[in-house]
Chain A
Amino acid sequence: MNRSKPITGELLALKNQIEGYAIEYGLDFFPQIFEVCDYDTINILAAQGGFPSRYPHWKFGMDYDQLSKGYTYGLQKIYEMVINTDPCYAYLLQANNWVDQKIVMAHVYGHNDFFKNNAWFSNTNRKMMDVMANHGTKIRRYMEKYGHDTVENFIDKVLSLENLLDINELFETSSLKRHRKEQVEQQKFENEDDGYMVDDRSAALKSFMRTKARQVKKDEVKKDEDFSAELPLSQKNKDVLGFLIQYAPIEEWQADIIGILREEAYYFLPQRLTKIMNEGWASYWHSTIMTKKALDASEIVDFADKHAGVMYMSKQNINPYKVGIELMRDIEYRWDRGMFGKDYNECTDMSEKLRWDTKLGKGKEKIFEVRKSHNDISFIDEFLTPDFCERQQLFTYKYNPRNGRFEIDTKDFNAIKQKLLSQLTNFGQPIIEVESGNYMNRKELLLSHVHYGVDLDVGFANETLRNLFAIWRRPVNLKTRYEDKEVIFHFDGKDFRPQH
C-alpha cells in the first residue's frame, strides 16, 4: 500500500539542485529520498513518529486524532517529516507551494547531515524502518496469540516507564559491551580464588532481547540467586526497562515487548537530546541555502513569511528553531572574528570588544565541529553568552501566587542559563534509578529519584508505581523528596502509602 510516492519531474530537478548546493557548502549526508504525500498520510506518518509502519497501539490513533483535528480546523500543518535512516527518508506535503518545497528540502539536508554526523546519533540503527515494521509484525503475532487486550494492556504498562532511560546507553556498542564483559569475567575469575563472588550481571547482561542462549544463562543466574541472601542488584541503574527485562518475573513475550519498546525509545532518544541543535542546524542551512543560492527574487516575500513563522518567539517557551539558529550564527560570527578565548574574555573595553576582529575566519569550521560533538546541554553550557541572552531578549518567568499569573522573573544571564540547563537535564525527565531489586531483603523494587529541586507529581507517581507493580509483581518503592522531606512511596498492589 503506497500512500506516498517518489518525487518526479520538477520536484526531482529541484532536489538535485538543492542537493548540489548542500554539497557545495560541505554538508555530509546520507543518500536522500524525498516522497510526496497528501495531508492525511503526513498526519499518519507524524503520528507514528515518522515511520510508515508501527506496532498497533491506540496512542498512535490518539496522535493521529489530534493532528487531523488540528489540520481540519486549520490550526496546524505539517510541511515535512524527516527520519533518521540511511537512506534518509523525508516526506513532503503535496499541497506545499513551490517555495515551501524548496525550504523544506534545504531544511531536510540540514537534518540529514546532523543525523549522520552528530556523535549522539552514532549508534542509532539506520535501518529502523525495517526494525519498526518487524516490531509491528511481532507484536501483532503476540496479539493473535495472547489476545489484543492482554498485549495492549501490557504495552500500556511499559509505556508508563518508557521515559526511564539511561543516556549513557547510547554509547554502549556491542563491541564495548563484549569488552567490558570479558574484563568482568576476568575479574570474577581472579576473585573466585578469594572465594568471593562479584556480580557481573548488570554489566554483562545488557542485550536488548531475550535469546535462547540468554534464557539458559538466566536460568543459571536464577540458580545462584537462590544461594545468595541478597539479590546482587545494588549497582544503580538508570536503564529501568533494561533492568526489568533482566530481573522481572515475566513471560518471554513480555520481555520481548519491553525489549521492543526499549529499543524504540533509545532510537528516539538522541533526537530528544539535540532538539535545539538539530532544528537550529537545519534552519541555519535552509536559511543559508535559500538566501544565498536557491531563492528566486519573486519568492523572497513568501520565503520571509514562512521563515518568520518558523522563527516566532514565544513568551511562554523557548522556540528551539529560533534559539538554535541564532546560537549557530552567533558561534559562526564569534569564531570568524576570534571573539573568544582569554584575551577577548579579559578585555574590559566594551567598544573594543564590539569591534573585536582577529580575522580568524574559523566560523564555518567551528559550527561543523559543534554539530558533530555536542548535545543541547553542552551546546548551551558552552556557547550561551550574556550578550546573546540580551540580544535574544531571553528571560525567565515564574508564577506569582499573589495575582495568580505568570510574570517575567529576571533577565539575568546565570539564571537563564541555569533554568535552560535544568529543563534540558535528562531530556526534561526526572532522573530515576533502580537502587535495589531486593529492597528490605524482600525482593521489593526500590527506585530512587535524583532530586534537583523539583518535586514529582505524586498522583502520576502513584499510577506509575501501580503499572510498575504489574510488571515486578512484588511491592515497589520510590524514594524521593517531597515538600522538602525524604519520603519513600510504597505500593504493595493494593495500597499506596508514603513512609517517612
Chain B
Amino acid sequence: MDHPIKRDHARFRKIVKGKIRDNLRKYVSQGNQIIPKGTDKFTVPMPSIDIPRFRFGDKSQGGLGQGQGQPGDPVDGQQDPNGQPGQGEAGEGEGKKELDVELSLDELARILGEELELPNIEPKGKKSLQSVVDRYTNIGTTGPDSLRHLRRTYKQALKRQIAMDSYDPENPAVIPIRRDFRYRSADTKVEMQNAAVVIYMMDVSGSMGDEQKEIVRTESFWINLWLKSQYKDIEIRYIIHDATAKEVDEQTFFRTRESGGTLISSAYNLCKEIIEKDYNPNEWNIYPFHFSDGDNWSADDTKLCLDLLDNVILPVSNVFCYGQVESRYGSGQFYKDLTSKYGSGEEKLILSKIKNKEGILDSIKEFLGKGK
C-alpha cells in the first residue's frame, strides 16, 4: 500500500489544478511555468498554496548576510523572506518557491511532457525510415589511440599485474602493456529516422502588440522543445504576414512589426508553396502553426483560407494548429469562422485561444495533447 501522504499529495495536486476546494483557489500560486533563464538554466517555480497568516509585509526591510563586501555593495540575488532564522522548519508555510535548475533540453522536454501529460507522438508510419547509427558505448581491445580509454586500460593493467604477482604495493606503479589497452568502441544501433518540419506563421499587423508576440515566442519555444524531443530531425520555418506574407529567419520573425492590414490567405499560400517545394508529405511530418489575433481583412479572404486549408494544408499535415492570442484590437473573428466550419469534427485541426501568459501551457497541451 502506498503511504497516506500520496493521498495528501494527490489532493494538493487537485487543489492546485482547481478541481477541488474552490475556496483555496485564491491562495494558490500557480507555478507550473518553466521559464528559460540564460542558456542551460531554467527556473522551475513550484506550485504552492499560501495559507494566509499574520506576517510582516515590508519586503524592503532588508536582512542580514555574511561574506565579503563593503557598505553599498550589492547583495546578489533576491532576498528570500522565508529564510530568516527561526523560521521554516518542515510544516511551516513557506510561500512561493522557485528553483534554479540547470537542465539539459532533453530533461526539460521530459519534465514538460510529464507536467502536461503529453503523449508521445507516433510518427506517420510510412515516413519512418530505419537508419543505422554508431554510438560509442562499448569497450573494445582494438582501436585508434584517440579513442583509448585510460581508466579501463590502467584497470586492466592492474588486474594483470596482480594476477601475475608483479604488483608491488610498496611501489604501486602500474604500467600497461600493449594487450592491456582498451578502446571505446561503437555499438551499432538501428534508430528510426523521422523528420518533421514546423512552419510558424504569425500575423504581424498593427494589432499584434509586444505582449502578444512574447506569448507566441514562449509558446513556440516549448513547441520546438517538445517536437525536438520527439523527432530526430526537425526543421523550422518562419512566415510573417500582414496583407502580404514573406519567409523570414527566427530573429526577424519575433521582431518585425508592420502596420498594414491582414490577409491570412497570403500566409497560407506561402505555407503551401514551402511545403510543395521542400517537404514531401510522404517523408516529412508537417506541423503548421498559425498565430494571430483573429482579425482578417474580409470574409472573402477567410473563405480563401478555408479552401486552402481544406484542399492543401490539412491533407498533408499531421496537425494544423491555430492559436489565437487575445489582443485589445483583435476581433477574434477568425477563430469563430474556423469553429463554425470545422466544429470539433476535424481531427487534424486544433484550435486554441491564448488569453495571456498563464494560458500558454494550457494551449500547448491542447496543441500537443493529441499525440499527433
Contact = CB atoms under 8 A, between A and B. Distances in A.
A430 interface: yes
A423 B63 contact: yes
A407 interface: yes
Interface stretch (B1-9, B125-133, B252-260): B1-9
A41 to B, nearest CB: 8
17 contacts: A59-B8, A60-B5, A61-B5, A63-B91, A65-B9, A69-B44, A73-B44, A75-B99, A317-B65, A317-B79, A317-B84, A397-B63, A399-B62, A454-B56, A454-B61, A461-B54, A478-B54
Interface residues of A, number: 93
B101 interface: yes
A273 interface: yes
A320 B85 contact: yes
Interface string B225-255: 0000000000000000000000000000000
Interface stretch (A44-52, A289-297, A335-343, A437-445): A44-52
A260 B94 CA distance: 21
A398 B86 contact: no
A458 B57 contact: yes
B370 interface: no
Given A65-B13, A408-B69, A430 B90 contact: no
Nearest to A3: B3
A315 interface: yes
Contacts of B24: 156
Nearest to A431: B54
Given A163-B54, A396-B63, 19 more contacts: A1-B3, A56-B4, A62-B12, A62-B49, A63-B91, A271-B89, A272-B86, A275-B85, A313-B67, A315-B75, A316-B78, A317-B64, A317-B79, A317-B85, A398-B61, A409-B71, A454-B57, A460-B53, A478-B54
B74 interface: yes
Nearest to B91: A49
A64 B44 contact: no
A315 B49 contact: no
B37 interface: no
A401 B80 contact: no
Contacts of A429: 53-55
Contacts of A488: none
A64 B9 contact: yes
Contacts of A53: 4
A457 B57 contact: yes
A376 interface: yes
A423 B86 contact: yes
A87 interface: no
A46 B76 CA distance: 29
A394 B55 contact: no
A159 interface: yes
B4 to A, nearest CB: 7
B172 to A, nearest CB: 15
Nearest to B27: A463
B12 A408 contact: no
A1 B3 CA distance: 8
B58 A411 contact: no
Nearest to B103: A73
B84 A405 contact: no
A177 B7 CA distance: 40
A315 B76 contact: yes
A411 B74 CA distance: 14
A427 interface: yes
B72 A407 contact: yes
Interface string A66-94: 10011001110000000000000000000
B90 A47 contact: yes
A25 interface: no
